[in-house]
Amino acid sequence: MNKILVFGDSNTWGDNFLTRRRIPDVKQWCNILQEKLGNDYKVYQEGLPGRFAGSVDKNEIYKNGIDTFLSTYKSIAPLDTLIISLGSNDLRPENNRTSDDIIKDLLSYKELLEKEFNEDNNRYFNGKLPEIIYILPINFDLPDPKLISLFQETEIKRQNILKYFNENRIKNIYFNHIDLCEDGLHMSIKGHNTLASKVYEEIEK
């Protein structure tokens, strides 16, 4: 069986921020992906609302992805594919993170696994590293005009991240336009379907 870990934020969890409730399980993209892939695959959905790629939150440290990743990985390992779907929370203006900061944090997952692999390449890896696919931060479409100006710089940073990953040919999935909920931050049910199809195509390659 091929094992896939999706380590992400609220969009991986299936959050609808306006209703403060979770999208029904069958409509979450990870579960749609599982249905598409069939019984030869097992998709582990590890999404957490508010999760950062790096060590950003000093109060709710459980939201710092890189600090909690290894225990999650090892509890499921060995894996065939690791999908990192983070970076959107790091981009929020109040966090004052540069695009270089976020790129470094995203790449640190690969570096951390390589370090672990070199120390023990059998127990948690079965002799090989998992393939890593990044789902890069999606577009924002804020409904409040007062917030649009705040996120103009955020969009520039987001584009810098996309440019870096594509120019360096780091395997990734990205969208400049994916359907969102009314909050302009989280994927709609249509968006979940779109992402599931895109990830399915990438895995099938």
pTM: predicted TM-score of the whole model, two decimal places: 0.94
Alpha carbon of 15 to those of 28, 38, 59, 164, 177: distances in Å?
9, 24, 22, 28, 19
Provide the pLDDT confidence category of residue 153 given band limits of 50, 70 and 90. confident
**Mean pLDDT score, 31-55:** 97
| Residue 17: predicted pLDDT | 73
| Residue 169: predicted pLDDT | 97
Q: State pLDDT tens for residues 105-115.
A: 999 999 999 99
Residue 142 has pLDDT above 80, yes or no: no
Q: State pLDDT tens for residues 158-179.
A: 999 999 999 999 999 999 999 9
| Residue 147: predicted pLDDT | 59
Question: Do 84 and 52 form a contact (C-beta atoms < 8 A)?
Answer: no
| Residue 129: predicted pLDDT | 94
Helix boundaries (H) for 49-120: 65-76, 99-119
**Mean pLDDT score, 95-104:** 95
Rounded Cα distance, 60 and 187, in Å: 24
Could you tell me which residues come within 8 angstroms of residue 19 by beta carbon, excluding any fewer than 6 positions away?
none
Q: What is the CATH number of domain 2-204?
A: 3.40.50.1110
Rounded Cα distance, 190 and 78, in Å: 32
Q: State pLDDT tens for residues 5-18.
A: 999 999 999 998 77
